[in-house]
């Protein structure tokens, strides 16, 4: 049953990406709110605010790398019948 | 280019009577960044006596400009003296017009209020004289929220007369009752939400209307006079305000200077290149009456100096934070890598051409800071087209059978390229940081603070390549030694803080995986749009129209996303990963005396 194994691999990759994306979203939400608040007080903080807001984005990239590595497992499944 | 403009501090001192001439000249030269005097030994100067008169004029001017809602570009006026007469004429006619308008408006409001109270009563069809002149009768005239049933009133008194009507959805009543029942009736009708209408009996609705009409006519003629004044003199007002403002800048300049009874001292920064020329010019102007010193000092303001190709990328420095005076100005490095990253992510000939055309059109319409951004995006669009050819893609279609790189299928290779680019970029960041520390402190500190990172990086690379390729037996050991040595150096250079940041080396490098990830998302979306449209095309007939619509809309949205994503991600790679390695920022902007504040 190659199909089932492939499906599980796909689901695993999906979970890796979805989980990390969700985590990044939560983190960015908090930082973004604070950054906008700070910007309302002082507009020059836009650059700094932007940087702080996008820092958690790296989490998604990690998720993506893990997902690609999981997808790489698909090559290792022996083709049976 | 790599360094900010060289500045020297200058100190001008001389007798007070030559101050005005000197200020005029400095203002015209637009070279000196004045420093406010904050010392205790001397007093700061006072603004010249004309300043007050001019600021009075400015208040009047601004009142007119805001009433006229003028939005024009100011022009330079050579001779301000000539304008005075014209200005005072304009202001006096403006003043009399607006005064008349406001008094008419007041009268209009008064009349309208009267009309508002008399109109409902006239709907009762009773003559005004019925409402007054009684001895034993009281009249309640006004509006009620609910109709008052007659039997309720008859519970209190049988002698009454109630007239009611409806005026614009309101219930209007006039109730005549004997005066001795006044209080009881009053409390009864107040339950029904009675509110009294006051008016003078002799007011005549017709007269009111005719007066209102004539006021309306006068108002419109006055307003058209005001409009023609605006048409005729608007540009002059804008010009005059602009020039007077510059004048105040000059007149108030002494507030920044140190003065004694007969002398002044001016301090400021000037570009080193122009220092000599300025000195000669000022000496000539004041017949050597002033004393000029120039010397180097810390804390100079920052003026970026880049060739016109690179200049648009100063936008990213303005957005982040200007470099300190002694720091390296990374604009040139951003100029090289930003478009490359952007192009690598978007990488599509079709999208590149569309955005290029869009930005070229936009460039003509936009002014100021945003123009820098557009210009930098034009360079980025060109890079997008270049990478489009490398990937062999146009609007998601692969127009080359075997492109140099196929980013949909060569995922592993793309990931590898991204990481390698990241390593190079980060290393470049450390090298710049090394140089930065070296010129600000010394070589030894640079080695410990930034060199340590390079050593760790080299060690890490050795270990990884040994694990992947296992070429030599000692690679692991050598790599380990290098990493350890690097960590010790880092601890010496930056302390515990440096050690805490160690893992960031790995996360920063991996972060460059976004270079291919963002592009992959963009190209997959384009592929989906194309596949969808192809399905519709094959059905033929009206569906071809739908297919075209899907193509247009889909690619439009994807281009918008494709601009936003690569822009932000490329920016982030510079701000976080790259600048984090060397950049301090927080420089003061060099604003020479005489340049308009909004242009600086």
Cβ-defined contacts of B374-377 (< 8 Å, 24+):
B374/B312, B375/B311, B375/B312, B376/B312, B376/B313, B376/B315, B376/B316, B376/B338, B376/B339, B377/B563, B377/B567
Residue B600's pLDDT band (cuts 50, 70, 90):
very low
pLDDT at B504 over 80: yes
B167 token code pair: 């005026």
Lowest mean per-residue pLDDT among B128-137, B166-175, B285-294, B495-504: B128-137
Contact B572 A51 (CB under 8 A): yes
**Cα B388 from Cα B380, distance rounded (Å):** 12
Is position A9 within any domain? Answer: no
Residues of B in contact with A62 (CB under 8 A): 507, 510
Q: Is residue A60 part of a domain?
A: yes
Cβ distance A62 to B321 less than 8 Å, yes or no, reads no
Binary contact (A46, B319; C-beta < 8 A): yes
Q: What is the pLDDT of residue B194?
A: 86
**pLDDT value of residue A31:** 93
Residue with tokens 């300049």: B253
- Contact state of B572 with A50 under an 8 Å Cβ cutoff: yes
Q: Are strands B195-196 and B33-34 parallel, antiparallel or unpaired?
A: unpaired
A8 in any annotated domain: no
How far from B543 is each of B447, B527, B535, B552, CA to CA, in Å?
67, 19, 9, 14
Can you give the pLDDT at residue B495? Answer: 82
Q: Would you call A51 and B576 a contact, using CB atoms and an 8 Å cutoff? A: yes
Q: Which of B514, B518, B577, B589 is the best residue to mutate to test the A interface, defined by the most A CB atoms within 10 Å of its own CB?
A: B514
3-state helix, strand, coil in chain B (%, to 5): 65, 10, 25
CA atoms of B346 and B519, how far apart (whole Å): 5
pLDDT in tens, A69-80: 888 888 777 765
Percent pLDDT > 70 in chain B is: 98
A–B CB contacts, 8 A cutoff, strictly below:
42
Spell out the alpha helix ranges (H) of B253-330.
272-285, 314-320
Give me the mean pLDDT over the B357-371 stretch. 87
Residues of B in contact with A48 (CB under 8 A): 320-321
% of chain A beyond a pLDDT of 90 = 38
Out of B320, B513, B575, name the one closest to residue A64 (CB). B513
Measured from the Cβ of residue B492, the count of other Cβ atoms closer than 10 Å reads: 15
Nearest by CB to residue A58, choosing from B319, B412, B511, is B511
- Closest of B336, B407, B412 to residue B578, by C-alpha: B336
- Tokens of residue B38, six digits: 């904050």
Contact assessment for residue B177 and residue B140, using Cβ atoms and an 8 Å cutoff: yes
Tell me: pLDDT of B365 over 80: yes
Domain holding A43, by residue range, is 17-75
Contacts of B84 (CB under 8 A, 6+ apart): none
> Over the stretch B529-580, which tens digit does the pLDDT of each residue have?
999 898 888 887 888 888 899 999 999 999 998 888 899 889 989 988 899 8
Indicate yes or no: CB of A47 within 8 angstroms of CB of B319: yes
Q: Residue A48 falls within a domain, yes or no?
A: yes
CA B52 centroid distance within chain: 31
CB B172 within 8 Å of CB B123: yes
Angle separating helix axes B452-469 and B504-511, nearest 10 degrees:
70
Between the CA of residue B115 and those of B197, B208, B484, B574, what are the distances in Å? 11, 7, 93, 69
**B431: confidence class by pLDDT, cuts 50, 70, 90:** very high
For the stretch B66-85, pLDDT in tens is 888 888 788 888 777 788 88
| A47, A54, A61: residue with CB nearest B321 | A47
Could you tell me the pLDDT band of residue B191, with boundaries at 50, 70 and 90?
confident
Q: With contacts defined as CB-CB under 8 Å, which chain A residues touch B565?
A: none
Chain A: closest CA distance from residue B39 (Å)? 29
Q: What radius of gyration, in Å, describes the C-alpha atoms of chain B?
A: 39
Q: How far apart are CA B336 and CA B536, in angstroms?
A: 43
Instruction: Say what the pLDDT of residue B202 is.
Output: 64
Q: Report the distance separating Cα A61 and Cα A55, nearest Å.
A: 11
Is A26 within the bounds of a domain?
yes
Cβ of residue B419 closer than 8 Å to a chain A Cβ: no
Cα gap B52→B59, rounded to integer Å: 11
Q: Which of B575, B581, B587, B589 to mutate to test the interface with A (most CBs of A within 10 A)?
A: B575
Structure tokens at B595: 């340049």
Q: Would you state the pLDDT for residue A2?
A: 62
> Tokens 């060739």 — which residue?
B307
pLDDT band at B216 (very low <50, low <70, confident <90, very high): very high
Over the stretch B323-345, which tens digit does the pLDDT of each residue have?
888 888 899 999 999 999 999 99
Are residues B571 and A50, on separate chains, in Cβ contact within 8 Å?
yes
Q: Report the residue from A57, A61, A68 with minimal CB separation from B411.
A: A68
CB B257 within 8 A of CB B35: no
> pLDDT per residue over B463-478, tens digit each?
888 887 776 767 778 8
Integer CA distances (angstroms), B13 to B19, B154, B264, B275, in order: 9, 97, 5, 16
Of B319, B513, B572, the CB nearest to A54: B572
Least Cα distance to B250 among B549, B32, B6, B572 occurs for B32
**Residue B571 with chain A: CB contacts under 8 Å:** 50
Closest among A27, A28, A29, A47 to A39, alpha carbons compared:
A47
pLDDT at B599: 41
Residues in A lying within 8 Å of B, measured between beta carbons: 46-48, 50-51, 54-55, 57-58, 61-62, 64-65, 68, 72
Q: Where are the beta strands (DSSP E) in B254-368?
A: 258-259, 263-271, 291-295
Give Cα separations from B216 to B107, B111, B204, B210 (angstroms): 11, 12, 19, 10
CA distance B188 to chain A (A): 56
Side-chain-side CA neighbours of A73 within 13 Å: the count stands at: 15
CA distance A4 to chain B (A): 23
Virtual CA dihedral for B58, B59, B63, B69, nearest 10 degrees? 40
Over range A1-30, report the average pLDDT. Answer: 90
Inter-chain residue contact B572 with A61, CB threshold 8 Å: no
Q: Note whether B137 and B234 are within 8 A (CB).
A: no
* Contact assignment for A61 to B511 by CB distance below 8 Å: yes
In a domain, A61, yes or no: yes
Query: Most confidently modeled of B42-46, B339-343, B501-505?
Result: B339-343
How many CB atoms sit inside 10 A of residue B293's CB? 12
Distance (Å, whole) CA B349 – CA B382: 9
Decide if A10 is inside a domain. Answer: no
Contact B413, B405 (CB under 8 A): yes
Quick one: pLDDT at residue A68? 83
Q: Report the pLDDT averaged over residues B189-212.
A: 80
Lookup: tokens for B583 = 């950049």
Question: In chain A, which residue's Cα lies nearest the Cα of B575?
Answer: A51
Most A CBs within 10 Å, among B323, B513, B586, to test the A interface: B513
- B120/A28: higher pLDDT: A28
Burial class of residue B503, CB neighbours in 10 A (0-12, 13-18, 19+)? exposed
- Is A59 inside any structural domain? yes
Does position B106 have pLDDT exceeding 90, yes or no?
yes
Asked if B572 and A64 come within 8 Å (Cβ–Cβ), the reply is no
Could you give the number of structural domains in chain A? 1
Residues contacting residue B297 through CB under 8 Å, at least 6 positions apart:
B9
Q: Is B320 on the interface with A (CB under 8 A)?
A: yes
B513 in A contact zone (CB under 8 Å): yes
What is the tens place of the pLDDT at every residue in B252-277? 888 888 888 888 898 899 998 888 88
Domains in chain B and their CATH numbers?
133-200 (3.30.70.2750)
Is residue B378 within 8 Å of B360, Cβ to Cβ?
yes
SS3 state at B34:
strand
DSSP state of B300: P
Using the predicted structure, report yes or no on whether residue B32 has a pLDDT greater than 50: yes
Give B-chain residues touching A68 at CB under 8 angstroms.
Answer: 411-412, 415
* B574/B578 Cα distance (integer angstroms): 5
Q: Given this model, what pLDDT does residue B465 score?
A: 83
For the ranges B142-151, B196-205, B473-482, B519-528, which has the lowest average pLDDT?
B196-205
Question: How close does chain B come to A3, measured CA to CA in Å?
Answer: 21
Q: Are the beta carbons of B576 and A54 separated by less than 8 Å?
A: yes
Whether residue B581 lies within 8 A of chain A, CB to CB, comes out as: no
**Minimal CA–CA distance to B197: which of B128, B141, B119?**
B141
Judge whether B321 is closer than 8 Å to chain A, CB to CB.
Answer: yes
Q: Which residues of A touch B321 (CB under 8 A)?
A: 47-48
């Amino acid at each position: 049953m190659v199909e089932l194994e492939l499906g599980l691999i796909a689901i695993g990759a999906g979970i890796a990406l979805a989980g990390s994306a969700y985590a990044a979203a939560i983190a960015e939400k908090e930082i973004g709110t604070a950054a906008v608040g700070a910007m309302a007080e002082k507009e020059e903080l836009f650059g700094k605010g932007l940087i702080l807001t996008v820092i958690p984005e790296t989490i998604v990239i990690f998720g993506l790398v893990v997902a690609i590595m999981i997808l790489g497992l698909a090559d290792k499944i022996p083709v049976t019948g | 280019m790599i360094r900010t403009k060289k500045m020297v501090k200058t100190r001008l001192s001389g007798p007070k009577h030559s101050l005005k001439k000197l200020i005029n000249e400095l203002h015209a030269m637009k070279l000196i960044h004045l420093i406010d005097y904050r010392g205790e030994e001397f007093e700061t100067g006072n603004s010249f006596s004309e300043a007050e008169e001019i600021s009075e004029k400015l208040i009047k001017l601004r009142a007119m400009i805001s009433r006229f809602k003028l939005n024009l570009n100011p022009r330079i006026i050579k001779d301000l003296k000539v304008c005075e007469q014209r200005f005072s004429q304009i202001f006096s006619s403006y003043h009399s017009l607006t005064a008349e308008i406001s008094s008419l408006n007041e009268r209009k409001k008064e009349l309208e209020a009267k009309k508002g109270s008399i109109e409902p009563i006239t709907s009762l069809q009773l003559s005004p004289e019925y409402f007054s002149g009684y001895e034993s009768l009281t009249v309640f005239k006004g509006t009620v929220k609910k109709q008052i049933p007659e039997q309720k009133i008859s519970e209190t008194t049988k002698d009454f007369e109630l007239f009611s009507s409806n005026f614009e959805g309101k219930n209007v009543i006039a109730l005549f009752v004997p005066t001795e029942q006044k209080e009881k009736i009053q409390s009864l009708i107040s339950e029904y939400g009675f509110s009294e209408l006051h008016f003078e009996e002799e007011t005549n609705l017709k007269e009111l209307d005719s007066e209102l009409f004539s006021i309306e006519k006068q108002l419109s003629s006055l307003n058209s006079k005001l409009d023609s004044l605006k048409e005729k003199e608007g540009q002059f007002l804008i010009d005059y305000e602009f020039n007077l403002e510059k004048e105040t800048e000059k007149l108030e300049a002494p507030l920044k200077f140190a003065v004694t009874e007969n002398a002044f001292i001016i301090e400021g920064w000037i570009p080193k290149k122009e220092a000599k020329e300025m000195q000669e010019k000022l000496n000539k102007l004041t017949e050597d009456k002033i004393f000029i010193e120039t010397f180097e000092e810390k804390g100079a303001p920052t003026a970026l100096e880049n060739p016109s190709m690179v200049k648009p990328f100063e936008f990213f420095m303005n957005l982040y934070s200007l470099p300190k005076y002694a720091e390296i100005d990374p604009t040139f490095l951003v100029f090289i890598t930003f478009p490359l990253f952007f192009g690598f992510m978007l990488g599509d000939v079709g999208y590149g051409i569309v955005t290029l055309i869009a930005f070229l059109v936009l460039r003509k319409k936009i002014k100021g800071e945003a123009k820098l951004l557009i210009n930098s995006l034009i360079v980025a669009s060109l890079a997008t087209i270049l990478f489009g050819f490398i990937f062999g893609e146009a609007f998601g279609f692969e127009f080359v059978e075997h492109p140099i790189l196929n980013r949909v299928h060569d995922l592993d290779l793309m990931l590898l390229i991204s990481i390698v680019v990241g390593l190079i970029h980060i290393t470049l960041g450390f090298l710049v940081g090394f140089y930065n520390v070296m010129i600000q402190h010394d070589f030894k500190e640079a080695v410990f603070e930034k060199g340590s990172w390079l050593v760790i990086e080299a060690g890490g690379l050795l270990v990884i390549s040994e694990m992947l390729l296992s070429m030599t037996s000692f690679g692991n050991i050598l790599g380990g030694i290098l990493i350890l040595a690097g960590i010790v150096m880092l601890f010496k250079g930056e302390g515990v803080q440096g050690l805490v940041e160690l893992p960031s080396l790995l996360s920063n490098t991996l972060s460059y995986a976004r270079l291919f990830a963002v592009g992959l998302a963009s190209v997959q979306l384009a592929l989906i749009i194309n596949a969808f449209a192809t399905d519709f095309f094959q059905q033929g007939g009206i569906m071809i129209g739908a297919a075209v619509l899907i193509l247009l809309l889909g690619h439009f949205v994807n281009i918008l996303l494709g601009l936003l994503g690569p822009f932000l991600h490329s920016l982030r790679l510079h701000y976080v990963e790259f600048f984090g390695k060397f950049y301090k920022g927080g420089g003061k902007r060099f604003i020479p005396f005489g340049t308009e504040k909004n242009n600086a």
